[in-house]
């Protein structure tokens, strides 16, 4: 069976597809804000986008802004799934790539880039390795472009 090629948007920090429509939602429920427990975050919003591409994987982009529209945080996560053959056994591989963190008032970014790989041989035990890395300047520039694209597309 021939599989279709993986879509180009299913890569960390890639441009969004033309038809992508992020959703804007309050960070806290009206009930929680009314109770006073979340008064400090009244008006904060998350702007998120979930994309999936069977059989390849998932992508989630998340941006948080405060009540004044100031950018607080942003992140992009891609989960890819594939199967490999190793020593005659099927190995299911889940590769998760992510970058995320907070945007500081001075315009700098504080965050981490992660690569997590989980392998399962047949129905057996899973092994997982996770590697944190500092995001590169190219990562930060790409995340800034992605965040701007998300905020531009999210309806008010």
pLDDT digits (tens, 9 = 90+) for 49-96: 999 988 889 999 999 999 999 999 999 999 999 888 888 888 999 999
Q: Is 14 a domain residue?
A: no
40 φ/ψ angles, rounded to the nearest 5 degrees: -65, -20
CA angle 11–25–69, rounded 5-degree value: 85
Structural domain contains residue 2: no
Whether the CB-CB separation of 47 and 133 falls below 8 Å is answered with no
Is pLDDT above 70 for 45?
yes
Residue 115's pLDDT is what?
Answer: 97
pLDDT of residue 4: 66
Tell me the mean pLDDT in the region 125-148: 96
- Nearest CA to 48 out of 75, 13, 17 is that of 75
13: in domain: no
pLDDT confidence of 103, banded at 50, 70, 90? very high
The number of distinct structural domains making up the chain is 1
Burial of 61 per CB tally in 10 Å (0-12, 13-18, 19+):
buried
How confident is the prediction for the chain on average, in pLDDT? 92
Examine residue 39 and state whether it is found in any structural domain, yes or no. yes
pLDDT of residue 1: 42
* 67 found inside a domain: yes
Residue 118 belongs to some domain of the structure: yes
Q: Above 70 in pLDDT, residue 3?
A: no
Asked if residue 8 belongs to a domain, the reply is no
Structural domain containing residue 32? 23-153
Q: Does the pLDDT value for residue 121 go beyond 90?
A: no
Q: Do the beta carbons of residue 20 and residue 51 sit within 8 Å?
A: yes
CA-closest candidate to residue 81, choices 94, 91, 68:
94
pTM listed for this prediction:
0.89
Query: Does some domain include residue 17?
Result: no
pLDDT for position 65 = 97
- Give the pLDDT score at 38: 87
């Amino acid at each position: 069976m021939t599989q279709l090629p993986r879509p180009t948007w299913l890569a960390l920090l890639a441009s969004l597809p033309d038809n992508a429509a992020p959703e804007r939602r309050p960070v806290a429920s009206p009930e929680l804000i009314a109770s006073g427990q979340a008064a400090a975050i009244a008006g904060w919003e998350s702007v998120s986008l979930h994309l999936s591409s069977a059989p390849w994987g998932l992508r989630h982009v998340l941006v948080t802004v405060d009540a004044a529209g100031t950018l607080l945080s942003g992140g992009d996560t891609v989960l890819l799934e594939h199967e490999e053959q190793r020593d005659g056994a099927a190995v299911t591989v889940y590769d998760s790539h992510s970058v995320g963190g907070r945007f500081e008032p001075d315009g700098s970014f504080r965050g981490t880039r992660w690569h997590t790989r989980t392998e399962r041989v047949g129905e057996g035990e899973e092994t997982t390795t996770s590697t944190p890395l500092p995001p590169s300047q190219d990562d930060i520039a790409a995340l800034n472009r992605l965040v701007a694209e998300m905020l531009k597309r999210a309806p008010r």
